[in-house]
Structure formats: C-alpha cells, structure tokens
Amino acid sequence: MIQPPLTIPTTIDVPQAVCHTASNGTPIYAINCPEYEVVRVSFVFHAGTITQRHPFTASATANMLAEGSQNMTSQQIAERLDYYGSYFDINIDRDYSYITFCALSKFFEQTAEVIEEVILRPTFPETEVAIYSAKRRQQLTIERRKVETIARENFAQAIFGKSHPYGISYPESAYDSLCRENICDHYQRRYTSDNCIVVCSGSISDNVLQRIMSITAQIPPSNNREEISFPPFDTRHNVHVQHDGAVQSSIRMGRLLFTRAHEDFIPMQVLSTVLGGYFGSRLMQNLRERNGFTYGVFSAMVNFQNTGYLAIATQVGTEVTEQALEQIASEIDTLRNELVPEQELALVKNIMAGEMMRILDGPFGIADVTTENILCGFDNSHIADNLRRIRTTTSEELRALAQKYLDPNDIVTVVAGDFS
C-alpha cells in the first residue's frame, strides 16, 4: 500500500470572540455557536499561586468556592448542578485560576443562580477549611513519596530558583496554619474585576449574554492594585535527589527560554515535537523502542505569563539512568548537528496542524484557545499565524535553533531516584 502524500492545511477558519465590557470594566469575550445547545462560561482570575501571601491559599480559595455561600450550602450547590445536568470545574496554575461552568442552554438561568453564589458570595466555612487542609496535607504527603513528584518540584526549583514564585515549594506542614482568614484575604485581593476576564461559548443568546454581564458586573474592584515581584532567576544545572528504595529514576531536563510572544516560540514547538512531542518522536524511538528504557517520554514548550521553558520528562529503571541521560543528550546533539529529514519534518508539521484542528473542533476548544490567546495578548487571528509559522519552518531553521538554544551547558538536568 502506498501512503498518500501528507498535506498540511494552509488556512484555518476560527470565529473571533466578540468583546463586551461589563459596567465594572471586566471584559467578556463571547463566541456564539448557536448550533450547540450548551453554554460554557469561564471566569479567569489572575489569582494563581504566584499571587498568594500564604502557602496553598491560591488553590484552597479556588477549590473551596463551592463549599458554601451566603444563600446555599455546598450540598445545595452540588444538587442544583446535578439536577440540571450542569457542571463546575476548577483549574489553577502558577498565574491564573480558571472557574468554569457548563450547562444546557435551556437550563442556563437555573445554573446562573449557582454561578452568582459561587463567584460572588462564597463563605469558606471554618469546618470545611479544616477538612480541606487535612485532606490536602495527606494527599501531598503521599504524592511526595513518588520520584515523579520529587523530580517535578526539584526541576521547578532548579530552573527558576528555590525562592522564585514559579519555583517555590512549601512543606506539607504549611497546611496546618492555613486558615479561613488567609483564604478570605486571597479572595478579596485577587477575585476582583480588574483581575478578571470572562470567556463564554456555545449558544450565547442575547438573554444569556445579558445574564453573564449582570453577574460579572457585580465582581468588585480591587482596593489596592498590587504588583507581583519577580526576583532574578537562580538556575542550577545539575541536581540529583536521593530517594531510598526507588526502583525507577525520574528525569527532568530543559532550560529557560521565553513566552509565546517570542518569534521563536512556535519553531521551538516544532523542534520539541521532533524531539519528543508525539509517539513516533526521536526520544520515543530511542528510549522506548530501541532500548526499552521507558514506557514513555515527552518534550514540550511550556508557557507562563512572564517566561517559558523547554521541558523533557521520563522515568526509567534505576540501572539504566545514566544510559538514558546519555541517549537524551545524543538526540539533542543530533538536532544541533544534522538537518531533520524533509519527510520527518512534514510528518511533524501535519501532526501539529491536525492537533490544532482537533482542539478547535467545537466551541469549548475554541474557547480554551481564545482564553490562552487573550492572556498572551493575542486575538484569534494568531491561530492562523501559528499555522503559517508551523508550515514555513525549515530544517535549516530547526538546526539553527537547536544550536542556539540547546547548548549542553544551558540544559538543566534533575534526576530523582536511588543512587546508592
């Protein structure tokens, strides 16, 4: 059988989000897809972990929004959402908290009543704070027994610095001093109109939009506009963390680079995909298929609000740790010295374009990409620009980027395992 030629899409048609402004100044981006009988609303607050004053308050605040409000108990909130087939989801990263609601359009008003309670009137009951803190402390204690968690946390510390907001980790014991006052303070400081954007998608009728705007307009402004302090990065390039009894080593490698706004971000995504971004990538073929060191390995470009980095991650048997590190270094060296064959590059471009098409196949995926674009300072025309940049990236450009950004002296390597 002859494989048909790979064709990379030349254009992509994505609806622009229409921006409305609530009376308090909060922008609301609406993507109307009336053929879908659902509504999704995401409230995105600049309230991630870098904004917290006390350990764990950012995640605690987000996760406890639905644990009781002025007019509804946590059980009533859960039962109301379940009854109408609606759901509520929380995501938090270093920079932002994402509070998302989804409902059938015919039941949006009933869901909107819950949205008001969760976003505008949470009470953070003392008893629930105590239960949450005890449970999360136990979960974190268990997680930190795993070499994967140890490597991930130590990699963040190594690449950013132990005291940097992007790198800092806290002991489990910090949960013991987490209290309702900490959470209320974080909510009052960060869940404000000037720290918020709203993105809604699906069947956004005029009535739905007006209801979303009326809820958003009630989000109060900040009392004091505060700036987040970012100290200089304090990077360490080689870290080995002993974990007695570990049968596997967890490897994290990478280096500081730049945000999505940088002209080299998309070409570096292409390079990262060649290296370890899909099942047939070079690292997968080497570490898994040829050598049997691991079941999986990946590399990816990671974007934060103020920086970005390249990350490579895998877990291998303790006895082959050094061999695996040598093979990863060898694949990086090959990218620095040899051109990526045109057939391989065409395959990678097609995979990346296909993944873009998959994500954008529906209003929720479009809303997710829209949110990411807005937070990075772009509109949805940037999607077509990204596709164009993927299509025009050359093998020569990839080699030049590898030579520029993948110098072995710049690579951070963290290994957690048993080295005894």
Name the CATH superfamily housing domain 238-417: Metalloenzyme, LuxS/M16 peptidase-like (3.30.830.10)
Instruction: Calculate helix-pair angle for 265-276, 342-359, nearest 10 degrees.
Output: 110
User: 3-class DSSP state for residue 52?
Assistant: coil
Amino acid letter, 368:
D
Q: Report the C-alpha gap between 153 and 144 in whole angstroms.
A: 9
Q: Which residue has the tokens 């790198």?
A: 167
Q: Which long-range contacts link 137-144 to residues 24+ away (Cβ below 8 Å)?
A: 137/172, 137/173, 137/175, 137/176, 140/172, 140/175, 141/172, 144/172
Q: Which residue has the tokens 């030049």?
A: 400
* H or E segment to which residue 19 belongs: strand 18-21
Domain 18-216 in CATH 3.30.830.10? The answer is yes
- Look at residue 6 in the predicted model and tell me its pLDDT: 56
Contact partners, residue 360, CB within 8 Å, separation at least 6: 12, 14, 366, 369, 383
> Please, which residues bridge with residue 103 across strands?
39
412-417 vs 238-242, strand pairing mode:
parallel
- Look at residue 4 in the predicted model and tell me its pLDDT: 63
Q: Compute the CA torsion angle 393, 397, 401, 402 (nearest 10 deg).
A: 100
User: 3-class DSSP state for residue 283?
Assistant: helix
Domains 18-216 and 238-417 share a fold: yes
pLDDT by residue, tens only, the chain of 420 residues: 566 665 666 667 777 899 999 999 999 999 999 999 999 999 999 999 999 999 999 999 999 999 999 999 999 999 999 999 999 999 999 999 999 999 999 999 999 999 999 999 999 999 999 999 999 999 999 999 999 999 999 999 999 999 999 999 999 999 999 999 999 999 999 999 999 999 999 999 999 999 999 999 999 999 877 788 889 999 999 999 999 999 999 999 999 999 999 999 999 999 999 999 999 999 999 999 999 999 999 999 999 999 999 999 999 999 999 999 999 999 999 999 999 999 999 999 999 999 998 888 888 999 999 999 999 999 888 899 999 999 999 999 999 999 999 999 999 999 999 998
* H or E segment to which residue 103 belongs: strand 97-104
Q: Pick from 298, 297, 286, 289: which is nearest to 323 by CA? A: 286
- Look at residue 381 in the predicted model and tell me its pLDDT: 86
Contact partners, residue 61, CB within 8 Å, separation at least 6: 47, 97, 124, 183, 186, 187, 190, 191
Residue 116 DSSP label: H
Question: In this structure, what token pair is assigned to residue 203?
Answer: 């069947």
Residue 315 DSSP label: E
Question: In this structure, are residues 110 and 42 in contact, taking their beta carbons and an 8 Å threshold?
Answer: no
- Look at residue 225 in the predicted model and tell me its pLDDT: 77
- Look at residue 361 in the predicted model and tell me its pLDDT: 85
- Look at residue 226 in the predicted model and tell me its pLDDT: 79
Domain extents for the chain? 18-216, 238-417
Question: In this structure, are residues 104 and 48 in contact, taking their beta carbons and an 8 Å threshold?
Answer: no
- Look at residue 362 in the predicted model and tell me its pLDDT: 85
